[in-house]
Amino acid sequence: MNEHVLLLDAETKAAEQPQDHRDELRLWLRLLTCTTLIEGGVRKRLRERFDVTLPRFDLMAQLDKSPDGLTLSELSRRMMVSNGNLTALVERLVASCHLDRRTAENDRRAQVISLTNLGRAEFRAMAAEHEMWIAEMLGDLSRSEVTELLRLLAKAKASARQAVQGERP
């Protein structure tokens, strides 16, 4: 009986498995292509128009949404990059007077990072153009297609998050 089950499993695998998940794989590759294309376009425009890198723009974008600043840990969680990555990135932006950094009041381990007035002003000028670039790149999608993509990607995001983070401990 055991062999029977195993045999069935093997046959099932042979018959279905190799084809079964091809669409999911295609979906992942297409998602990656879309992201890479848009990211490349944004990166290039940021460099040409503002001489700024994408990671710096992303960092400033997070801080612009949090006027009271964020700790490095919170930043790394929101940007989904490693902790050590931020150390150098923040250092450079502090050196160029775009960011402020201070020790947290109640926790001497933590650093609170925030935008300076200069940083905020420069970011907002960039963000305004950035929004138009994105609108242009996604310009062939109708309003309802955008809405539908938002809905389906929310589901994909939840699915991936559960699979990826559900295994952490």
Partner DNA sequence: CCGGTTTATTTTAAGCTTAAAATATCACGG
Partner DNA sequence: CCGTGATATTTTAAGCTTAAAATAAACCGG
What is the size of the binding site for a copy of itself (CB under 8 A)?
53
Among 7, 40, 124, 162, binds DNA (CB under 7 A): 40
Instruction: Name the minimum Å distance from CB 9 to DNA.
Output: 33
Question: Which secondary structure element, helix H or strand E, spans residue 99, and what is its range?
Answer: strand 99-103
Minimum gap (Å) between residue 32 Cβ and DNA = 11
**Residue in 25, 67, 109, 169 binding a copy of itself, rule: CB under 8 A:** 25
Q: Using the rule CB under 8 A, which residue among 7, 10, 15, 30 binds a copy of itself? A: 30
- Are 59 and 79 a contacting pair, CB within 8 Å? yes
Does 87 participate in binding a copy of itself (rule CB under 8 A)?
no
Q: How remote is the C-alpha of 108 from its chain's centroid?
A: 29
Interface pick for DNA out of 3, 5, 25, 82 (rule CB under 7 A):
82
Q: Is 77 in the site for a copy of itself (CB under 8 A)?
A: no
CB-nearer residue toward DNA: 54 or 149: 54
CB of 139: closest distance to DNA in angstroms?
22
Structure tokens at 26: 């295609």
Q: How far apart are CA 98 and CA 89, in angstroms?
A: 11
Tracing tokens 């376009």 back to the chain, one arrives at: 41
Piece of the chain touching DNA by CB under 7 A; list 50-58, 61-69, 116-124, 155-163: 50-58
CB environment 111-148: b (16+ within 10 A), e (fewer): bbbbbbeebbebbeebeeebeebeeeeeeeeeeeeeee
